[in-house]
Structure 1
C-alpha cells in the first residue's frame, strides 16, 4: 500500500497531533544518536512539547558545554561577518578616491594645466582625446544648425503662404467693392397705337 504524502500544516486533532509528536520525536532522537555515533559528531538536541515538557539529547558528557561552545562559535562568526562589510567599505572608499584623483588629473590636462610632468605618450593621448571630443562637438553643432535652418525654412514657407492668401483676399475685395457708374437700363416701353386705314381705288384725295 502506497503511503500518502503528509501535508505540512498543523494537525487540528489533539489526539492525532500528540501521537505524531511522540513518533517524530523518537525518530528525531534516534537520528541524532546515529549521527553522533556513525560520524563521530558532537550533537545536541533540545525539544519542547506543546505543553512545555523538555526532551533533550547530547552526545557529549554535558549539554551545557555544547551550548556554550555553540554560543562562542556563533559570536566569533558574528564578529567576522561584521568585519567583512567594514573591509569592503574601506576598499570601496579607497577605489573611489583613486578614481576621483584620476579624473581630476585628466580634467586638468584637458584644460592645459599640469602638463609639465606629462610624458610624450601622455600628451599624445590627451591630444587624441581632445580631437575626438572636438569631432563630436562639431558634429553636434552642425546637426543643431541644420535643424535650425530647416525650422527657419519651414517658417518662411508658412509666411509666404499666408502672404499669398492675403493678396488673394485683397484682390478679391477690390473686384467686389467698386460700384458700377453706368445708369441702369430702363425698360423700353412700346406703346401700341391704333391706326385707321381705308382702302379705296383712285387718285388720292386732296
Structure 2
C-alpha cells in the first residue's frame, strides 16, 4: 500500500511527534547533503528539537556561512536606498546634459548670425573675436592645402615634360624606320643591274603565237 497524505499540523501525541521528528530530521540532513554535493551549493542547516537539542549540517564553516547570510541580507536591505540614490544622480546628470545641449545649440545659432537680439555688446564683441579666430585658422589651413596641391601639380608637370623629352629623342629614329619600311630598301638601279646580269638582253625577238588573234613576243 502506498503512503497516504497526512494533515500538516502539530502532532499531539508526544511519542509519535518524537518519532516523526527523528525520521524527518534525518531525511532533511540527507537532502541538505545531496544538495551541497550535486549542485555545489553552500548549505548550512540548523535544527533545534523541542527539547532544545541542536542538530546542524554544513559543507563549509557554518560561521562563515552565517556571516555571508547576514551580509547578503544587509545588502538586500540597502538595495532600495542605493537605487534611489542612483536615480537621483542620473536625473541630475541628465539635467546637466540637457543644459549643455541647449547652450551648444544657442552658440551655433549665434555663430550663424541668428538670435543675436538677446546678446549684449560685450557678448557680441566676444562672438566677433571667435569668428575672426576661426577665419584665421581656416585661411591658414586653406593655404597649406593649396601649397600641397601646387606641389602635386608641379610634380605632375615635371613628369609630363620628362616623358615628352623622351618621346622627342626617340621620334627621329622611329620616323627613319617607318621611312625604310614604306619604300624599297634597294633602289631601282641596283635591281636593274642585277636583272641584266642574270638575264642578258638579245636584239633578236621572236613572236610566239598563243592562239587566234593573240601573240606575245619574247627576247632571246
Q: TM-score, normalised by structure 2?
A: 0.49
How far residue 76 of structure 1 moved from its aligned partner, in angstroms, is 3.5
Change (3 A) 1:88 1:114: same
Alpha-carbon separation, structure 1, partners of 2:164 and 2:58: 98
**Partner residue of 2:58 out of 49, 56, 70:** 49
Structure 1 residue 171, shift from structure 2 partner: 1.7
The offset of 1:55, in angstroms, is 6.5
Match of 1:147? Answer: 148
Cα separation, partners in 2 of 1:157 and 1:182, compared to 1, 3 Å: farther
Structure 1: 5+ residue stretches without partners: 1-46, 57-62, 187-206
Q: Distance in 1 between matches of 2:62 and 2:150?
A: 90
Give the TM-score, by structure 1 length.
0.52
State the match for 1:79 in structure 2: 80
Partner in structure 1 of residue 116 of structure 2: 115
Question: Distance in 1 between the 2:162 and 2:137 partners?
Answer: 38
Q: Which residue of 1 aligns with 2:212?
A: none
Structure 1 or 2: more strand by fraction: 2
Distance in 2, matches of 1:143 and 1:134, equals 14
Structure 2 stretches of 5 or more lacking a match? 1-55, 194-220
Q: State the partner residue of 2:130.
A: 129
Structure 1 residue 49: deviation in Å? Answer: 2.9
Structure 1 stretches of 4+ with a deviation exceeding 6 A read 180-184
- Mapping of residues 148-167 of structure 1, within 5 Å: 148-167=149-168
- Root-mean-square deviation (Å): 3.2
For residues 158 and 116 of structure 2, the distance between their equivalents in structure 1, rounded to whole angstroms, comes to 53
Q: Helix, strand or coil for the counterpart of 1:126?
A: helix
Secondary structure of the structure 1 residue equivalent to 2:119: coil
Q: Give the aligned length.
A: 126
